[in-house]
Chain A
């Protein structure tokens, strides 16, 4: 099982947070705004920091010094590799799914 898939409730938010951090270090408010913009999903504070907590514990994300209330987070090298791996897996799955959908569309009714 991959690190990102091992969160139960936080697996999808963790991936959204990780993808957001691919752009660079961000604090909570910026992550929420970014995820809302690219995924159309607003993360609540509990979901967001639940996911960040798990990512941090697994060493995939690291907190940077901040002013306490607005602490930026960034992906670690391990986190970057893990996001890359998960996105590759998702890409393969999406490609297979699209191929089968196309076959389904050309199949005689």
Chain B
């Protein structure tokens, strides 16, 4: 089976993997079909993510919360690292703009946690109770 098939979710591979492999094996234009597979895998993954978010399963919420918390921690570490370099306040930012980049994960993490909270409303889950 083509290694490219690993780009697809496991359940998708179980359903269509052998048929796609069969089609690839007899393809008269293998490179175009491989490129088509990569494109389709990205689309299938994208649909999967959108479906997961819209279904708001517990696993999706856990993933969002974990990713959000991870980014917040990373941003806080970046903040501690950047603070001494910006000792004179925001006037230092133009000189040390890369220090601010270290804090950006904090913003991303807060956005993810807010999304997890918003999507979790009314589900009766832990986020809805908190």
A interface residues with partner B (beta carbon < 8 Å) = 7-10, 27-29, 32, 44-50, 52-54, 56, 63, 68-71
Contact = CB atoms under 8 A, between A and B. Distances in A.
Interface of B: 12, 15-16, 18-24, 26-27, 32-33, 35-41, 43-44, 46-47
Given A45-B36, A53-B12, A70 B22 contact: yes
B36 A49 contact: no
B26 to A, nearest CB: 8
B47 A54 contact: yes
B36 A46 contact: yes
B19 A69 contact: yes
A68 B18 contact: yes
A47 B40 contact: yes
A37 B44 CA distance: 27
Contact of A44 (B15, B26, B37): B37
Chain A, interface SS category:
helix
Nearest to B16: A49
B18 A69 contact: yes
Contacts of A50: 40, 43-44
9 closest pairs, A vs B, by CB? A46-B40, A44-B36, A46-B37, A45-B23, A50-B40, A49-B16, A69-B22, A46-B36, A9-B43
A64 B43 CA distance: 25
A53 B15 contact: yes
Contacts of A28: 19-20, 22-23
14 contacts: A9-B39, A29-B23, A44-B40, A45-B19, A45-B36, A45-B40, A46-B20, A46-B39, A47-B36, A47-B40, A49-B40, A54-B47, A68-B18, A69-B21
Given A28-B19, A49-B40, A69-B19, 18 more contacts: A9-B39, A10-B43, A28-B22, A44-B33, A44-B37, A44-B40, A45-B27, A46-B33, A46-B39, A47-B36, A47-B39, A48-B23, A49-B19, A49-B20, A50-B44, A52-B16, A53-B16, A53-B44
Contact of B33 (A45, A56, A70, A71): A45
Contacts of A10: 43
Contact of A8 (B12, B21, B47): B47
